[in-house]
Structure 1
Amino acid sequence: MFDEEAEAMVTATGIAPGSEMTAQMEQVEERNVSGVLHIASIFASHMVLQRNKPIAVFGALAADCAGMEVVAEIHDFDGSLIAQEHAYSSQNVVNGFSQWRVMLPAQPEGGPYTLRIVAGNDAIEFDDVLIGEVWLAGGQSNMELELRNSEHADEALEDCADPLLRFYNVPKTGVINRNAENTSSWQESSPENSGVMSAVAYYFARKLRSELDPDLPVGIVDCYIGGTSISCWMSEDALNSSDAGRDYLTRYQRAIAGKTQQQFELETSEWQSQMDAWNAAVETVRQTNPNATSSELSEQCGTCPWPPPLTPTSQWRPCGPFHAMLERIMPYSLAGFLWYQGEEDEQYSGSYRELLGMMIGEWRALWSENLPFLIVQLPQWINGKTAADGNDPMRWPVLREAQWDAAQSIDNVYAICTIDCGEYDNIHPLDKRTPGERLANCALRQIYGMDRVPVHGPTVLGFRCDPNGRVRLFFRYAHGLHFEGTTPGGGDDDDFDGQLPTLVRVPEHSGFELAGSDGMFHPATAAIFVDCDIDDLVNSRVNVVDYNATEFGIPINSRSIGTITLATPDVPEPVAMRYAWRSWGPAPLFNDDGLPAQPFRLDLTDHTSPVESAEPVTPDGTAD
């Protein structure tokens, strides 16, 4: 019998369709072991090492070799020495091993090289090693969705051969699986290899390859599991440091309480049989109807048997992948992190922002570096039955707000908006090129300093309310501000799109809503005014909601300021407004870079300092 706590554990996501999961396999030889020397499995021939910062090389020695010297060397193709450094393994022995870490001096991009590690009489060499940019791609099923299963997969795979684009798939597991690690490897991008790479990460890496130096290698470390909550990627210490984190641990402990190992094994075996049967049924349906929706699949195949049972070895338990995956590759030198996750935490959306900030802090502490953290803000999605019942739980807007707030309030964290993406009744949208390339554009501008790359959609700067109940919103990054379509995918909206000018939207299609003192939101008519400049902003006593307007290197008056006026007779005295504040709904506001406005909400009674009280602005856009 389900109680409220147990029902809350049910996930909406699961594993990305067709994703390659770590499976049991015959025992294979230890590939990174020579005598007493053990090297972390992420080190392998064909790997990419991070340029322009110290290169961490790490592993372990047998217990009786604690304190022994370990030497790491990089050699050129002719055997000449490029770099060398040494360290001594720890005197502390944990689980029969003494840990060591050598920090090789920073190197520019180049290769192929040989990386050689020596401890006493034992040595291991890796060849065809490149030095370039390395990013870790983390999260759950939408990061996990593989290139072979994404939109236009055949075309992408035909054109993916690139010896300077390489990837490493961390084995997906909830407990350390050395056998799986021994079969893992770095691979070059090719039609034969790249099908099992994260589609989002592939398009990110491909864009970097095309925009940066053509001789610059790019490596991706794929580290994700579909259906994982944010708690899976944090340590017990981190989760125990907050009420929200402790709640995840408490729910898990309740789920496994009183069960024997035999029960865990039986439950897992039964679930796997059900999941295999369901996947087979889905595959049969898709052979005749490739575009079957989630609702149609459920009608014909039954409800997906998800979530799997929680066990002490489950990939989906709190902290499991953190220990079995992330810690196994930490601190492999990186340029930064990519993060696409949050769907699994829908039930606990109110605490997501706190945990996201904690996780970012913990990851950076593990790497001892304030690494860039790039977030994919969740796209549109709603379950078909939920939509048909007219019951939007409105949790995804809270998750999106949490992700956006993290990017605005945490140093060196950025988010891309994908509110124009998503598929109705499909939590795994197949277009992964759009989020992948937007992540790349974000990195190109914010991390690599390419100011010409557009990354900002229209962003609200302030508002003004007039006595007639109208609300005027002021936007920056509003060049070419216009309405385009309504919800992702068009459909009937395409016909509507040609019926009105691109500067006006009727209430049902604007995405804007106003609420009065009763708290009830009503759709509002939205009209864009294009002839607005900085004088309009200063003279209108606008209530500022964005005090960081110049932080991105673009003074607020150096590009056009756009305005939108909202009104509805249902709300004569508005006290709150919101835009695109639905799991699935109209979100038609764009600029001429083709970038959407992110969802937002405003308290219109929050009368902050007006613009004219800020620092005077000179004609060239700088503070006086």
Structure 2
Amino acid sequence: MAIQLNGIFRDKMVFQWGAELRIFGYSDKTCVIRSTLLKDGEEICTGTCGTEQDGSFLVCLEPVDEPGGPYEIEVFENDAKACTIKDVYAGEIWLAAGGGNMEYPLIRSEFAKFILPKIGKTEIRYYRVPYFGHMDEAQAKAEAESKWVDVTSETAGDMSAVAFYFARELESRLDAKIGIIQCCATRATIDNWQSVESLLTTKEGRQYIKDFDDEASELTPEEYDAAEAEFNEKYAEYNVELQKLLDENPYLTYPEADIELGPAPWPAPVGHKSSRHPGAAFECMILRVAPFTLRGVIFYQGEADTDGHQSEYGHVFETMIKEWRDVFFDDQLPFIFCQLPMYISKDRKYMGYDDMSWPLLREQQQIVAIDMPNVFMAVIADCGEFNNMFPSDKKTPGDRLALLAEKFVYGFEKVEAVAPFIVDARRGEGVEITFGGDYLLLNLTTGFGPDDSGFELAGEDGKYYPAEASVDFDGKTVLLSSPMVEFPSRVRYAFFSYGPTPLHAQNGLTATPFQVKIDKDLGGA
């Protein structure tokens, strides 16, 4: 058959209601492509286009006014029917993208053995975009075999846990099918998620490219091929042993597997065929589903960038969001992401060494959320686990992403979604911090002593000391003091890789980590 639709166009697909339906693919000859949307055998709308010089085509159909279905989509090539897509629904479409924490399957997550049997049937469907790092035969074969999946007790275990909880919350609020497009690449850095052309527009993006090229050049092609073969062999052996454990306990978590087997072989070698090259995930996943119309994006990524790129991350993250909005034809596409949780390896913890890479990257993420329109950040500082980069609690991140979507995308104004954030810091006998956000009262959930408050004060010398903290009677102000700091000039909260995060709103939202200068006195302007 001359015509080839992109992999997302399969039976059971969900498309965004109230927006243009875009159908795209390739043909090996010059022709006219026509696509028709039908319901109960009656034509709802139709569209036509010609193929471009490279064989690509894009047919645009008029919006459907309300969620529902089932529909069928017929695609014709020069008036000859090429294919029919069945059991199609108009609903809510979200792209769920990121690294290992977004990929983390529901069956490995906290309380999965209790959650999965109770799921039953849902109004959620998901499509996993395959990823091999290169547009090669393996990638093409996997895409040809890809499919949309109805989420049930039997199928939900393989789905992104974060995306599941996000979709489950939306399902409870919206009378519509929820469609999740899952694009995940474990340990992929932010440069993997955009084109090389986009990276070249900033010095920070160019630094990512240079660092990859420098690392890749350390191995000759022959050395890389040998190293990759050795890595693949070790990884295959690990997976055999892992599968034995999973056969005994399907709900085995990754930390439990590490206890039995030790950590999985990682990192993979970097060389001339590396699947983690700049632009890899963008080319092999994002461009395979763009410009499919989306309601929005949820994103959870950044762990891999803490290894030396925390200072460049924010600029490159911003250009990534801009490029995604370009390729999805929506310059206001809602983009909701998770700030990194707490994490430190046991080696660094026991050495008493914190290079501050994680809090610095969290700060970069927050700057992007503040600076860019229609970008929102879910704070999950309270979700981290010691020595585990992939914490098993995925319900909290998914729920908090959904709260932000409900408030800012769907207009549920009374939803409390914005985590407490610093508004003002002033000096008095101590320091007063005023917080904003969606809440009535703040709570410190542990003791009020300096070692577990999460707050630190510094004088002009820049040396930080733990601070005692208490919540003022207004419920929105935190009072700080430290006998070690006579004249505080800086304050920070939860600004470490791993540590206590006791400040929460009464609704459970955890406070946003921060570091700021104190340039006001009480009573001053």
Instruction: Give 1:315 deviation, angstroms.
Output: 2.4
- Does the 8 Å contact 1:173/1:325 carry over to 2? no
Distance 1:525-1:260 versus aligned 2 partners, 3 A rule: closer
Task: State whether structure 2 residue 442 is matched by structure 1 residue 521.
Answer: no
Instruction: Give 1:361 deviation, angstroms.
Output: 0.5
**1:590 corresponds to:** 504
- Does the 8 Å contact 2:425/2:520 carry over to 1? no
Aligned equivalents of 1:318 and 1:276: distance in 2? 25
Can you give the 5+ residue segments of structure 1 that lack an aligned partner in the other structure? 1-34, 486-496, 498-504, 532-560, 612-624
Trace 1:569-588 onto structure 2 (pairs within 5 A). Answer: 569-588=483-502
Q: 1:99 aligns with which of 36, 56, 65?
A: 56
Q: Which residue identity does 1:38 align to in structure 2?
A: Q
- 1:48-100 CA distance string (max 9 Å, x none): 001111111111111x31xx2211111012x101111111211x22xxxx111
- Does the 8 Å contact 2:20/2:62 carry over to 1? yes
Task: State whether structure 2 residue 355 is matched by structure 1 residue 400.
Answer: no
- 1:282-305 CA distance string (max 9 Å, x none): 6778979967959x948x756643
Aligned equivalents of 1:334 and 1:292: distance in 2? 32
**1:566 corresponds to:** 480
Distance 1:44-1:312 versus aligned 2 partners, 3 A rule: farther
Distance 1:452-1:269 versus aligned 2 partners, 3 A rule: same
- 1:391-417 CA distance string (max 9 Å, x none): 111111111111122111100000011
- CA RMSD for the aligned pairs? 2.4
**1:76 corresponds to:** 39
**2:26 corresponds to:** 60
Trace 1:176-187 onto structure 2 (pairs within 5 A). Answer: 176=135, 177-187=139-149
Instruction: Give 3-state SS (helix, strand or coil) of 1:45's partner.
Output: coil
TM-score for the superposition, normalised by structure 1? 0.79
Aligned equivalents of 2:468 and 2:279: distance in 1? 47
- 1:365-384 CA distance string (max 9 Å, x none): 11120200001011111111
Larger Rg: 1
Distance 1:602-1:51 versus aligned 2 partners, 3 A rule: same
- Does the 8 Å contact 2:378/2:419 carry over to 1? no
**2:74 corresponds to:** 116
Distance 1:183-1:162 versus aligned 2 partners, 3 A rule: same
Instruction: Give 1:566 deviation, angstroms.
Output: 0.8
Task: State whether structure 2 residue 139 is matched by structure 1 residue 225.
Answer: no
Aligned equivalents of 1:55 and 1:267: distance in 2? 45
Task: State whether structure 2 residue 308 is matched by structure 1 residue 336.
Answer: no
**1:175 corresponds to:** 134
**2:452 corresponds to:** 509
- 1:241-288 CA distance string (max 9 Å, x none): 122211222222233338565443322110012223345566778979
Trace 1:351-390 onto structure 2 (pairs within 5 A). Answer: 351-369=312-330, 370-390=332-352
Q: 2:15 aligns with which of 49, 57, 64?
A: 49
Task: State whether structure 2 residue 225 is matched by structure 1 residue 265.
Answer: yes
- Does the 8 Å contact 2:24/2:58 carry over to 1? yes
Can you give the 5+ residue segments of structure 2 that lack an aligned partner in the other structure? none
- Does the 8 Å contact 1:293/1:425 carry over to 2? no
Aligned equivalents of 1:259 and 1:513: distance in 2? 45
Q: Which residue identity does 1:524 align to in structure 2?
A: A
Distance 1:328-1:592 versus aligned 2 partners, 3 A rule: same
**2:390 corresponds to:** 428
Distance 1:473-1:328 versus aligned 2 partners, 3 A rule: same
Instruction: Give 1:426 deviation, angstroms.
Output: 0.9
Distance 1:55-1:313 versus aligned 2 partners, 3 A rule: farther
Q: Which runs of 4+ in 1 moved over 6 A?
A: 282-292, 606-611
Q: Which residue identity does 1:147 align to in structure 2?
A: L
Aligned equivalents of 1:577 and 1:118: distance in 2? 64
TM-score for the superposition, normalised by structure 2? 0.93
Percent of aligned pairs with the same amino acid = 32
Q: 1:125 aligns with which of 57, 79, 84?
A: 84
Task: State whether structure 2 residue 408 is matched by structure 1 residue 446.
Answer: yes
Aligned equivalents of 1:526 and 1:163: distance in 2? 45
Trace 1:255-294 onto structure 2 (pairs within 5 A). Answer: 255-257=215-217, 261-279=221-239
Aligned equivalents of 1:595 and 1:408: distance in 2? 18
Task: State whether structure 2 residue 96 is matched by structure 1 residue 134.
Answer: no
Count of residue pairs brought into register by the alignment: 515
Aligned equivalents of 2:393 and 2:309: distance in 1? 27
- 1:26-55 CA distance string (max 9 Å, x none): xxxxxxxxx221111110000000111111
- Does the 8 Å contact 1:83/1:105 carry over to 2? yes
- 1:93-135 CA distance string (max 9 Å, x none): 2xxxx11101111112110000111111242100000001000
Aligned equivalents of 1:424 and 1:255: distance in 2? 29
Aligned equivalents of 2:252 and 2:117: distance in 1? 21
**1:542 corresponds to:** none
Instruction: Give 1:481 deviation, angstroms.
Output: 1.4
Instruction: Give 3-state SS (helix, strand or coil) of 2:492's partner.
Output: strand
